[in-house]
């Protein structure tokens, strides 16, 4: 494990604020393509005559692509360059989004969403790699805390502004155009990664792709971070998957009120993202921060779904849960690039992290759906509490691995 930034160029201590801002904005634009699907579901039902279950693939295709391709994306970023893959991801995302409206067929829409998912995966793996070399020293934690807001910010913007565009075709076109514009901005303003340093030895004994993957997969800290991200999504997706329906049933909100409340609650996740960056910069150890957060969210999540919890307390508790839960992704994303054995393996470490992330996104709703049939709303609290307990052990195990490695990351 290393203590310097991944492929950090020789530069002054000053930050390239514009380049960093563009990379973060590229992440937000990519998340628009995640948020556009759920907000377009009512129109998609009318246009394609599908049930909600039938339209689930429009929303769930991204996690499946990420689950299958996380490590591959990391290898591409490592071998082809982080900026190049960021630009490619934005272009793929933009073009496939606009192509999605070309034919009035559901199978065509799903095919273009799969291609969008490939572009999105390249972005979420390459962008942190770019930031890791652009950001110097202790400010890395704060910048990565800001970066980790990209998903909540993009989804919230889509859910709030999408209906203003008139129809889902316009939403697909606008989001696609924004991705292409961001690709151009990144090309013009973000510097490419320098060539990797030559390692001593001959080409014959240089590490192979298999060696690099094996090196990351056998690094305890990297694996624990991936598992931690998966457990986080077991919690968060149990919390958010049916939030509007839960608020309508337990609090008595209308559909419109529940939609706004759910979007605002999910957006509050950014509070924890930013706070985690500040905590890490001030020296709080990532494993300790993970363990404390998981135990707290496990308890609060269980309280939210207990039958005896007063209805008046449910929305405040939900805001608290979402805000505190934001500590987890920010901590993991900030730490992952520096938990790998060598600096040049950071993209593979990020790919593994995203694979763990998507494992939780895919399995979380499936597990919750099975439990809901047996225990009703209480099952969401059960899943959150169990995942919180697992997260505590993962956080403590990560802290132990960090101490044994005798490095500061």
Sign of CA dihedral 341, 342, 343, 344: negative
Residue 120 burial (10 A CB sphere; 0-12, 13-18, 19+): buried
The rounded distance, in Å, linking the Cα atoms of 158 and 156 is: 5
Which of 158, 192, 226 delimits the end of a domain?
Answer: 192
Confirm if 168 and 82 have CB atoms less than 8 A apart: no
User: Which strand (E) or helix (H) includes residue 302?
Assistant: helix 286-304
Classified as helix, coil or strand, 49 is coil
Per-residue pLDDT at 203: 54
Angle separating helix axes 243-250 and 255-267, nearest 10 degrees: 130
In a shared domain, residues 99 and 225: no
Let me know if residue 386 belongs to a domain.
yes
CA-based nearest residue to 123, from 206, 64, 174, 182: 182
CA-based nearest residue to 350, from 328, 332, 323: 332
The rounded distance, in Å, linking the Cα atoms of 277 and 172 is: 33
Let me know if residue 24 belongs to a domain.
yes
Let me know if residue 238 belongs to a domain.
yes
Classified as helix, coil or strand, 387 is helix
In a shared domain, residues 174 and 260: no
Let me know if residue 110 belongs to a domain.
yes
Which of 130, 162, 192 delimits the end of a domain?
Answer: 192
Length of the chain measured in residues:
409
* Cβ count within 10 A of residue 36: 28
The rounded distance, in Å, linking the Cα atoms of 14 and 125 is: 25
The rounded distance, in Å, linking the Cα atoms of 137 and 406 is: 18
% of residues, the chain, pLDDT over 70: 90
The rounded distance, in Å, linking the Cα atoms of 208 and 214 is: 10
Confirm if 182 and 29 have CB atoms less than 8 A apart: yes
In a shared domain, residues 50 and 94: yes
Let me know if residue 200 belongs to a domain.
no
Cα dihedral 166, 150, 52, 162, rounded to 10, equals: -10
Report mean pLDDT in 10-residue bins for the chain, 409 residues.
45 75 96 85 81 72 86 88 95 96 90 94 93 81 88 83 83 95 95 69 60 83 93 86 80 80 86 91 91 96 92 94 94 87 84 88 79 82 93 94 70
Which of 161, 192, 223 delimits the end of a domain?
Answer: 192
In a shared domain, residues 135 and 261: no
In a shared domain, residues 172 and 247: no
| Residue position matching structure tokens 């559901």 | 106
* Cβ count within 10 A of residue 206: 11
Let me know if residue 199 belongs to a domain.
no
In a shared domain, residues 315 and 384: yes
pTM of the model: 0.81
* Cβ count within 10 A of residue 65: 21
CA-based nearest residue to 86, from 123, 140, 117: 123
The rounded distance, in Å, linking the Cα atoms of 189 and 21 is: 10
In a shared domain, residues 183 and 256: no
Over residues 88-143, the pLDDT tens digits come to 999 999 999 999 999 889 889 999 999 999 999 999 999 999 998 888 766 888 89
Number of structural domains (the chain) is 2
In a shared domain, residues 124 and 233: no
Let me know if residue 204 belongs to a domain.
no
Per-residue pLDDT at 408: 61
Per-residue pLDDT at 169: 92
In a shared domain, residues 85 and 123: yes
Let me know if residue 319 belongs to a domain.
yes
Helices (H) and strands (E) in the chain, counts: 17, 0
Q: Residue 408: which CATH number? A: 1.20.1250.20
In a shared domain, residues 156 and 276: no
Per-residue pLDDT at 317: 95
The rounded distance, in Å, linking the Cα atoms of 369 and 376 is: 9
* Centroid of chain to Cα 60: 14
In a shared domain, residues 176 and 255: no
State the residue range of the domain holding 293. 212-409
Confirm if 228 and 290 have CB atoms less than 8 A apart: yes
In a shared domain, residues 267 and 382: yes
């Amino acid at each position: 494990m290393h203590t310097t930034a991944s492929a950090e160029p020789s530069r002054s201590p000053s930050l390239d604020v514009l380049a960093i801002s563009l990379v973060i904005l590229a992440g937000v634009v990519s998340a628009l393509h995640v948020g556009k699907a759920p907000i377009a579901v009512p129109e998609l039902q009318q246009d394609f005559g599908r049930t909600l279950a039938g339209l689930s693939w429009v929303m769930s295709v991204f996690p499946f692509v990420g689950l299958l391709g996380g490590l591959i994306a990391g290898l591409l970023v490592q071998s082809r360059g982080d900026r190049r893959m960021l630009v490619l991801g934005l272009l793929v995302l933009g073009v496939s989004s606009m192509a999605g409206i070309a034919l009035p067929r559901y199978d065509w829409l799903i095919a273009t969403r799969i291609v969008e998912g490939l572009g999105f995966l390249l972005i979420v793996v390459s962008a942190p790699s770019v930031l890791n070399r652009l950001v110097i020293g202790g400010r890395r934690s704060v910048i990565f805390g800001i970066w980790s807001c990209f998903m909540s910010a993009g989804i919230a913007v889509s859910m709030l502004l999408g209906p203003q565009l008139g129809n889902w075709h316009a939403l697909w076109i606008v989001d696609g155009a924004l991705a292409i514009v961001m690709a151009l901005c990144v090309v013009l303003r973000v510097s490419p990664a320098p060539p990797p340093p030559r390692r001593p030895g001959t080409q014959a004994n240089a590490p192979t792709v298999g060696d690099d993957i094996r090196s990351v997969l056998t690094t305890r800290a990297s694996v624990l971070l991936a598992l931690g991200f998966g457990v986080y999504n077991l919690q968060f997706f149990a919390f958010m998957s049916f939030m509007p329906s839960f608020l309508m049933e337990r609090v008595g909100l209308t559909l419109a009120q529940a939609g706004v409340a759910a979007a605002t609650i999910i957006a509050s996740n950014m509070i924890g993202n930013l706070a985690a960056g500040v905590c890490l910069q001030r020296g709080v150890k990532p494993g300790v921060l993970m363990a404390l957060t998981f135990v707290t969210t496990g308890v609060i999540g269980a309280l939210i779904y207990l039958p005896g919890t007063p209805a008046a307390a449910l929305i405040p508790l939900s805001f608290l849960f979402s805000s505190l839960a934001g500590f987890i992704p920010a901590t993991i994303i900030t730490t992952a690039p520096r938990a790998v054995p060598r600096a040049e393996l950071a993209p593979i470490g990020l790919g593994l992290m995203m694979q763990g992330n998507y494992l939780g996104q895919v399995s979380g709703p499936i597990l919750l759906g099975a439990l809901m049939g047996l225990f009703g709303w209480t099952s969401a609290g059960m899943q959150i509490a169990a995942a919180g307990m697992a997260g505590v052990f993962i956080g403590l195990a990560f802290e132990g691995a960090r101490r044994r490695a005798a490095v500061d990351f």
